[in-house]
């Protein structure tokens, strides 16, 4: 007897269906991404392409039947990215009408600066359009009562809200505060923050969050607002960063610019369980916020980064001395990742002690505040003239005493100070004894000037000349690594992997030759393997300095960037780490069949309430009542 296949997607085994749908959960956007363009202008492979494509697939499948809608809706709201003003208002309205949706959200990102004049204007306009017909829910009672009371004072002003100024400029921050209050199981929050003085800080948001916490601690102590947030991502406006760093702008660029994490200490205080902080394009200033009020150097002030265990800085202006203040204010730090941007701000400071190092050098910071560090990945572009800010003679001398350190990415320039020292000092004597993974970054401060010349697109003749000029350096580097490989087990019994990052490819590769960078290290690779250590060489022969983004994903420093320290994945619905499924139960075939089946059942199959027509020509997906996607704006 012939077996009949199920003719509806919800007739499949729910476990198999859930596994297949998990493949469509969009991965959260990374910090530093610019807003997506219109969907029809995207190409496959762009950062936002898969996110929007997967959301569309889930939203389409939700229309197959009520059962499919019930299964898919929690997945649609797991990772939410707000990248236009209408989406911000509609997502807020959805949570007001259906507060239970907020319990499904684990990742929430805002890709707009809330104090930008254009953003404020558009949010006012959207509120006047979409909020008057809002129907707030009655549960949870105390929380909804507090939000309704706040909205009541706004209700009579909604028709003319877009024409008002003054305190109404704080309305976007108020909406974000209400949204965070309703996302009771949110794990990761991404905020786009100002990087210039023309845009105000988020003081209104912080004061409202503080007031909300105080209010509920008094009247509803069981509801611990914002306590589920463990990861905070603060991205400086990516479009403005790109304009300042990569485009030929004729505006007056200040010497120091970027996001200012220290001014967000009130926000950090509102997140009691925060343990991971990721920042893009910071200004490099990490002293205590009270220092500006005359308390500079006061040892009795509470570190404003206390409790944070992971810090990731992308395209940072932090110099080695800034990291001293960062680590001082983060006494619980276990992971530190810093990718510096080439600002050329390191003017030689007066009185820097090259021989013994500065009292607030990065080396001293590791000695005083780095006892808990387990992962360290720090890179600088050029510290010529400021070597004392790294340590004595420009070297990190404290690494060898850091017994808890397990993963390390270190520049050779910071490890040895100068190439001549590499021939005198044995590498094993300079490194932590309990390392599991080691990445050696082949970057010396003299390379910064060479990178500028290379940005003019060297021809093959110049590349060949560079290759020949570095013959002695290649011999020294291979000898140094061979000595380490042969004796590695004498001092590093736990080491499993060593990677060499060749930042300037033409130091190791000759144009027109079949010789690769790996061919120089065949003996080194064999020696490491005989001791049970995997050795890799990474070199990008197509490297073009002028195309580098300096944002840690494609080029933290010229060429490749280490991936030693990896930000944890967002938490799933059950509180564990969510891992993106890859073809469970041959999911590729199953997913294609499932979507084909869903598409054949869409017409007349949706059993939910009537759908509103598209508003203003945009498509939004809200809930059972709104079959339009607030996170898609084709």
Give CA–CA dist 561/555, Å, rounded.
Answer: 5
Position with higher pLDDT, 135 vs 95: 95
The CA distances from residue 206 to 93, 154, 229, 280, in Å, are 21, 20, 15, 20
What's the start-to-end Cα distance of the chain, in Å? 48
Let me know: does 503 contact 470? Beta carbons within 8 Å: no
Burial of 488 (0-12, 13-18, 19+ CB in 10 A): buried
- Calculate ∠ Cα 510-515-521, nearest 5°: 110
Q: How sure is the predictor about 450, in pLDDT bands with cuts at 50, 70 and 90?
A: confident
Give the helix ranges, DSSP H, for 331-394.
Answer: 362-369
Give CA–CA dist 302/289, Å, rounded.
Answer: 10
pLDDT at 611 over 60: no
DSSP 428: G
Q: Cis omega (within 30 of 0) on the bond before 33? A: no
Q: How sure is the predictor about 158, in pLDDT bands with cuts at 50, 70 and 90?
A: low
Position with higher pLDDT, 373 vs 567: 373
Burial of 457 (0-12, 13-18, 19+ CB in 10 A): exposed
Give CA–CA dist 261/268, Å, rounded.
Answer: 10
pLDDT at 425 over 70: yes
Reduce the DSSP state of residue 484 to 3 states and report it.
helix
Give CA–CA dist 382/31, Å, rounded.
Answer: 25
The confidence score (pLDDT) of residue 3 equals: 56
The confidence score (pLDDT) of residue 455 equals: 59
Q: Which of 2-6, 53-57, 281-285, 334-338 has the highest mean pLDDT?
A: 334-338
Average pLDDT over residues 331-337: 97
Q: Which of 1-15, 239-253, 440-454, 553-567 has the highest mean pLDDT?
A: 440-454
Position with higher pLDDT, 580 vs 346: 346
What is the separation of C-alpha 533 from the centre of its chain, rounded to a whole number of angstroms?
A: 30
Give CA–CA dist 603/40, Å, rounded.
Answer: 25
Provide the strand spans (E) within 111-265: 188-193, 231-236
Q: Cis omega (within 30 of 0) on the bond before 133? A: no
Reduce the DSSP state of residue 276 to 3 states and report it.
strand
Give CA–CA dist 109/51, Å, rounded.
Answer: 13
What is the separation of C-alpha 366 from the centre of its chain, rounded to a whole number of angstroms?
A: 24
**pLDDT tens digits, one per residue of 486-510:** 999 999 999 999 999 998 888 999 8
The CA distances from residue 509 to 470, 516, 520, 581, in Å, are 11, 6, 9, 38
The confidence score (pLDDT) of residue 154 equals: 61
Q: What is the pTM of this model?
A: 0.82
Give CA–CA dist 557/48, Å, rounded.
Answer: 24
Per-domain residue ranges of the chain = 1-74+586-626, 77-230
Let me know: does 257 contact 196? Beta carbons within 8 Å: yes
Taking each helix axis as running N to C, give the angle between helix 85-97 and helix 117-130, from 0 to 180 degrees, rounded to the nearest 10: 40
Give CA–CA dist 290/298, Å, rounded.
Answer: 9
Tokens of 335: 């992971």
Summary mean pLDDT of the chain: 78
Residues across the chain: 634
Reduce the DSSP state of residue 230 to 3 states and report it.
coil
Reduce the DSSP state of residue 427 to 3 states and report it.
helix
CA-based nearest residue to 116, from 197, 3, 17: 197
pLDDT at 397 over 50: yes
Q: How sure is the predictor about 169, in pLDDT bands with cuts at 50, 70 and 90?
A: confident
């Amino acid at each position: 007897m012939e077996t009949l296949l199920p003719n509806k997607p919800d007739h499949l085994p729910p476990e198999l269906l859930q596994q297949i749908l998990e493949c469509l959960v969009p991965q959260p956007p990374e910090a530093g991404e610019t807003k997506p363009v219109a969907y029809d202008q995207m190409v496959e492979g762009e950062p936002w392409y898969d996110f929007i494509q997967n959301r569309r697939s889930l939203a389409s499948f939700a229309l197959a039947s009520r059962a499919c809608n019930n299964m898919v809706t929690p997945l649609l709201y797991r990772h939410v990215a707000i990248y236009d003003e209408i989406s911000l208002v509609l997502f807020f309205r959805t949570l007001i009408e259906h507060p239970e949706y907020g319990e499904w959200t684990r990742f929430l990102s805002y890709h707009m600066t809330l104090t930008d004049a254009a953003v404020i204007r558009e949010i006012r306009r959207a509120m006047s359009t979409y909020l008057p017909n809002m129907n707030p829910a009655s549960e949870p009672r105390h929380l909804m009562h507090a939000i309704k009371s706040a909205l009541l004072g706004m209700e009579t002003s909604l028709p003319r809200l877009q024409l008002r100024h003054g305190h109404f400029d704080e309305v976007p921050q108020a909406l974000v505060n209400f949204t965070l209050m309703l996302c009771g199981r949110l794990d990761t929050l991404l905020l786009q923050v100002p990087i210039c003085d023309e845009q105000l800080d988020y003081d209104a948001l912080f004061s409202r969050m503080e007031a909300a916490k105080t209010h509920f601690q008094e009247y509803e102590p069981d509801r611990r607002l914002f306590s589920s947030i463990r990861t905070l991502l603060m991205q400086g406006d990516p479009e403005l960063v790109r304009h300042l760093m990569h485009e030929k702008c004729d505006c007056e660029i200040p010497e120091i610019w970027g996001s200012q994490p220290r001014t967000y200490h009130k926000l950090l205080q509102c997140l009691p369980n925060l343990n991971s902080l990721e920042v893009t394009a910071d200004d490099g200033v990490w002293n205590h916020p009270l220092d500006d009020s005359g308390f500079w150097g006061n040892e009795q002030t509470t570190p404003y980064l206390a409790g944070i265990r992971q810090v990731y800085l992308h395209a940072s202006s932090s110099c080695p001395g800034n990291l001293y203040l960062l680590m001082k204010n983060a006494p619980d730090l276990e992971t530190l990742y810093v990718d510096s941007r080439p600002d050329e701000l390191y003017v030689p400071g007066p009185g820097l002690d090259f021989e013994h190092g500065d009292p607030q050098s990065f080396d001293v910071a590791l000695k005083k505040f780095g006892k808990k560090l387990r992962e360290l990945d720090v890179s600088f572009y050029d510290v010529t003239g400021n070597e004392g800010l790294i340590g004595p003679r420009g070297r990190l001398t404290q690494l060898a005493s850091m017994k808890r350190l397990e993963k390390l990415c270190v520049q050779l320039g910071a490890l040895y100070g100068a190439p001549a020292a590499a021939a005198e000092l044995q590498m094993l004597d300079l490194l932590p004894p309990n390392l599991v993974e080691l990445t050696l970054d082949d970057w010396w401060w003299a390379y910064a000037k060479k990178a500028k010349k290379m940005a003019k697109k060297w021809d093959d003749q110049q590349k060949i000349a560079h290759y020949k000029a570095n013959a002695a350096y290649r011999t020294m580097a291979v000898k140094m690594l061979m000595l380490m490989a042969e004796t590695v087990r004498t001092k590093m019994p736990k080491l499993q992997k060593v990677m060499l990052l060749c930042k300037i490819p033409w130091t190791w590769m000759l144009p027109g030759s079949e010789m690769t960078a790996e061919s120089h290290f065949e003996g080194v690779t064999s020696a490491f393997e005989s001791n049970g250590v995997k050795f890799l060489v990474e070199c990008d022969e197509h490297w073009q300095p002028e195309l580098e983004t300096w944002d840690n994903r494609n080029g933290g420093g010229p060429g490749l960037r280490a991936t030693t320290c990896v930000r944890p994945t967002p938490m799933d619905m059950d509180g564990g780490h969510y891992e993106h499924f890859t073809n469970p139960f041959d999911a590729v075939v199953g997913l294609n069949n499932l979507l084909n089946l869903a598409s054949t059942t869409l017409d007349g199959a949706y059993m939910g309430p009537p759908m509103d027509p598209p508003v203003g020509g945009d498509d939004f997906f809200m809930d059972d009542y709104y079959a339009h996607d607030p996170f898609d704006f084709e």
